[in-house]
Amino acid sequence: MQIGSFGSVVFEVSAKKVLTFDDVSRSGSARWAVHDIHQKKPMPEFLGPGQEAFSLRVVLKSILGVNPEEILKKLRLMRDTGEVSSLIIGSQPVTTNYWYIDDLQETNEHYDQTGKVHSITTTINLKEYPVPTKIRSKPTVKSASATNSSSNAKRSPVTGIVTIKAGMLNCRMSPSLSGKIKKVLYKNQAFKAYGTTTTDITWYVLGGGLYCSANSKYVSFKKS
């Protein structure tokens, strides 16, 4: 009976073969950024869920119908080639995302008189690999003249250029750390700024109802 799988390694129990796991553990965390505010307590900003980790111990014994070296070769190959796969426990995947082997610990416990190993205990440490998001088709773009005239009528004069210093920075639809995230801005991207506004923190106004943090840790500003 199959009780789970990861890639080409199938965990099962039968009259001829026993390959199971124990000491299962799972951990995860959230991602937060902390914005320093002058003479006030720092303001945390929730960035999103963090990467989960999963660990399980597997005992490989030839007496149980398993070839320990063959199973370890499969696991090492998956680790060394960066293979990602669903982790199945029972009949369901642990998450909708994939997993990869981050670390593999091996303890050879029993050899015969020829030097062949008959018992190996391995701990498989996995990390979560998000399933890539499908790219949606872009909506129909309005004519440039109509868009520019509309946006220019609502925007203040350009005050300078904001360049992203952080690896990633949330761009929000309102000047608030609880505002809805419209998109993510990436390092070295540059945007026109139409002034600043201060609420829970100070924000650059990017136009079109979009805002990003004005914290110098995350962005630089060049006055126009």
Per residue in 34-65, pLDDT tens? 888 888 899 898 888 999 999 999 999 999 99
What is the CB-side half-sphere exposure of residue 104 using CA atoms within 13 A? 16
Share of the chain above pLDDT 90, in %: 52
pLDDT at residue 112, as a whole number = 83
User: What is the mean pLDDT of the segment spanning 206-219?
Assistant: 91
Beta-carbon contacts of 224 under 8 Å, excluding residues fewer than 6 positions away, are 158, 159, 160, 161
**Domain chopping of the chain, boundaries:** 2-129, 153-223
Nearest to 27 by CA among 48, 54, 57, 49: 54
Would you call 29 helix, strand, or coil by DSSP? coil
Which of 52-61, 112-121, 132-141 is the least confident region? 132-141
Planar angle of CA 78, 83, 84, nearest 5 degrees: 125
What is the CB-side half-sphere exposure of residue 78 using CA atoms within 13 A? 23
Note whether 64 and 44 are within 8 A (CB): no
Q: Average pLDDT over the chain, rounded to whole?
A: 86
Q: Tell me the chain's radius of gyration from C-alpha atoms.
A: 26
Note whether 126 and 55 are within 8 A (CB): yes
**Domain 153-223 -> CATH class:** mainly beta
Q: Is the pLDDT of residue 146 over 80?
A: no
Would you call 151 helix, strand, or coil by DSSP? helix
User: What is the mean pLDDT of the segment spanning 25-36?
Assistant: 92
pLDDT at residue 180, as a whole number = 87
pLDDT at residue 212, as a whole number = 93
pLDDT at residue 139, as a whole number = 58
What is the CB-side half-sphere exposure of residue 92 using CA atoms within 13 A? 3
User: What is the mean pLDDT of the segment spanning 106-121?
Assistant: 87
Would you call 94 helix, strand, or coil by DSSP? coil
pLDDT at residue 23, as a whole number = 92
- Chain segment 156-173, per-residue pLDDT in tens: 799 999 999 988 888 999
What is the CB-side half-sphere exposure of residue 118 using CA atoms within 13 A? 10
Out of 1.10.287, 2.40.30, 3.10.530, 1.10.3470, the CATH code matching 2-129 is: 2.40.30
